[in-house]
Structure 1
């Protein structure tokens, strides 16, 4: 459904600012019917890539195909296949739920019985049936997001693009929204591409693309990504993480990855497991340990691992690979 080939986008500089590369030589193929999350920290290039996919920005170079349509050469044809949920609300909060949906339907020529049929279809999965006459600004954050998604579904898109749609939602609303997306993708056969910097949201989707500093670092199923870390992860909270990392390296030959005030160790010496290592760290460096735990690897751990590898590769001038098949 989505084919991105050698995509680069550079924001031009000015008198006081140098040009900035937001997306660099990115190649990514998302098959039809797949639920994919594009994840990474703020500033990783996710939002720029999203704007390009929506047709709101033209890349410096590269090619994008949506359902076989060239987004750059024939944007109207490609956009006709899409529904888009932006990070910022795109509904009128002073109008009712039904008024917002009617206006959107009218923009696509939907009225009368055709609109009512699409409306019933778009609302079938929501909790909005009894709230159609309510103004949007009286709804909870989760229900307001449901209005945004129902609006997109009126046009029966083949591709649904969502830019961090769970921002501002409480945990229960976030889980409900993600469950609804998964169900809709399965029932309607849509392709879903959603950006998120919350790695826990990507644990149960079909595939995950991880970006950092404009580059694609990894793209695979969540299970395959977690399998990159062969065992447990030792997480150490330290008041002096750099000092502890240096001592672990010099004394024990451990490569600890710093993430904030935490150190993560995901590669252990032969014959030593995470529990044994935990005991040795506590015995030898108790004054540098504020908290320590052993955990199963999650996608956040994979992200920390692959970004550390990418930084190390750049330091030694090694070429970085871009993984394009899940």
Structure 2
């Protein structure tokens, strides 16, 4: 148990260091953007007094390192400042949208994870068959297609031609859970098509790699049915790489939804990020990027912990 806690502690410490480095990159990349932020917010007709007052209000009259330390100390307590455009606290502006993004990612994950694992087992069981080849072509096509392209294809057929689902995923407070699932089905399906392909191929590769092991050969020589060889012997030992790829794809579901949310006008944090960039609302941009980075690091940590818990060699390193 101590070894596991030590490994988790090391991963967590490394994650915090990486997040600190990312926060520095985010802040100073925004600082290096061309143009005057105050001028962009107030417009060309702003007077020098108004520009100076806004720069003082935003802290632009202070050195960059002082502003970064102040922003970082606030970010630790989830205080990302106020929006330049709406003057609302950033955390209240993006809090609900982040929950919408988490819901969309969870919706896609509930569909994608079991489908990917089942398909991965089937194509490993039917390796080199017609089904395996068709599945490989389909998954390579899905992986190679950009998310926005898949989204527009789904809108064309499911929304425009067949009228089964709405093309715009607008949400309201009074809608039922069934209506919520209906309105968010197309963006969730777009994410599913992207991540299922990757998870299925990794599951297939992990199981096929284990099928050459001596204990698998022994099980086959004993006359064990092929499906039982995979389900009882190969799959339990393949959980470590499968959990790792599932966690990484879950991270993608949360951090890679920007294009999908823009295509379907979904009110998530990705859409908020795009709106903030267009309006040069830099406090919102910095907060969204930091939340994306923290989420990705946490899910990578979860992947490492899952791999440690499912692999005795990692739990008891020599």
TM above 0.5, one fold? no
Q: What is the TM-score with the length of structure 1 in the denominator? A: 0.27
Please identify the structure whose Cα radius of gyration is greater: 2
Q: Which has the higher contact order (CA 8 A, sep 6+)?
A: 2
Greater share of residues in helix: 2
